[in-house]
């Protein structure tokens, strides 16, 4: 139904709004000592949700003001904004990386066993499996979420992401975007028992004129909460995001 796509857009804008004026980074408490797993690394496991409040930022504003585009890429962003059906979030496919951390206001569940860190997102039932054994990125393998490889720097989990599929990955409803040449480095740090700090650095030589850095934090959700099955396509009767500009079927 037509309300469905508008609901997806509204919910995503609400998430960005929250992030616009939320504290940029939650510093670790001086007396905080994280719970550790048997391997000695901090236990990041749990259900987390982006801390949020405030008006929704437009393209190039708020957290996205730090994205400095190359001239041709800026023109492409403005053109993309007129083709909302190309947004993977509107298509209920994926928010990708780093969009999944900054875009939909849905929770994510982190599970770790010493060899892998798994991030399960409620939106689109997306899953990222992050090896932490030091293995390199595979050659020739690409995906919408890229390939993630993690390692620990002290108490911080650092995730290096490359090998993205060709195409544009939207970061907000204003069409700020990245492409397949992007390189993403995420940093996850427990700054308190119920707060997870998130930092991300993005390089994209065909889109951005320089690195883009962003920060956010997530709040731990009650143990009684859980990831739900989020119906996005089921019952959808609105063709707006399944057709090209002009209304012709794909």
- Residue 247 covered by a domain: no
pLDDT at 18: 45
pLDDT tens figures, 2-61: 444 444 443 444 444 444 434 444 455 668 899 999 999 999 999 999 987 555 557 887
pLDDT tens figures, 117-132: 999 999 888 999 999 9
- Residue 130 covered by a domain: yes
Q: What is the largest CA-CA distance in the chain?
A: 60
Domain that holds residue 95: 2-229
pLDDT at 237: 63
pLDDT at 20: 43
- Residue 243 covered by a domain: no
Residues 6+ apart with CB under 8 A from 205: 181
More confident residue, 163 or 7: 163
- Residue 236 covered by a domain: no
Q: Rounded distance, CA 48 to CA 106, Å? A: 9
Number of domains in the chain: 1
- Provide the CATH number for the domain around residue 48: 2.40.128.20
- Residue 152 covered by a domain: yes
CA-closest candidate to residue 182, choices 158, 157, 207, 215: 207
pLDDT at 61: 78
- Residue 164 covered by a domain: yes
Q: Rounded distance, CA 241 to CA 247, Å? A: 10
- Residue 250 covered by a domain: no
pLDDT at 245: 53
- Residue 118 covered by a domain: yes
Q: What tokens were used for 105? A: 């206001």
């Amino acid at each position: 139904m037509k309300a469905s796509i508008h609901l997806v857009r509204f919910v995503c804008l609400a998430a960005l709004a929250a992030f616009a004026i939320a504290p940029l980074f939650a510093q670790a408490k001086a007396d905080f000592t994280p719970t550790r797993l048997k391997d000695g690394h901090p236990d990041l496991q749990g259900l987390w949700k982006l801390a949020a409040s405030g008006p929704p930022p437009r393209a190039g504003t708020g957290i996205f003001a730090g994205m400095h585009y190359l001239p041709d890429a800026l023109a492409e962003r403005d053109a993309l904004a007129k083709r909302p059906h190309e947004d993977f979030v509107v298509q209920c496919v994926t928010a990708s990386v780093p969009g999944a951390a900054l875009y939909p206001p849905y929770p994510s569940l982190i599970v770790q066993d010493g060899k892998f860190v798994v991030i399960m997102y409620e939106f689109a039932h997306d899953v990222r499996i992050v090896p932490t054994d030091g293995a390199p990125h595979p050659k020739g393998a690409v995906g919408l979420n890229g390939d993630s490889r993690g390692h620990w720097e002290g108490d911080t989990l650092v995730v290096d992401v490359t090998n993205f599929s060709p195409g544009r990955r939207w970061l907000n409803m204003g069409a700020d975007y990245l492409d397949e040449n992007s390189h993403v480095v995420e940093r996850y740090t427990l700054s308190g028992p119920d707060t997870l700090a998130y930092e991300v650095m993005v390089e994209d030589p065909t889109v951005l004129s320089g690195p883009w850095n962003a920060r956010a934090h997530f709040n731990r959700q009650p143990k009684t909460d859980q990831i739900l099955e989020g119906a996005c396509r089921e019952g959808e009767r609105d063709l707006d995001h399944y057709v090209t500009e002009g209304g012709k079927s794909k």
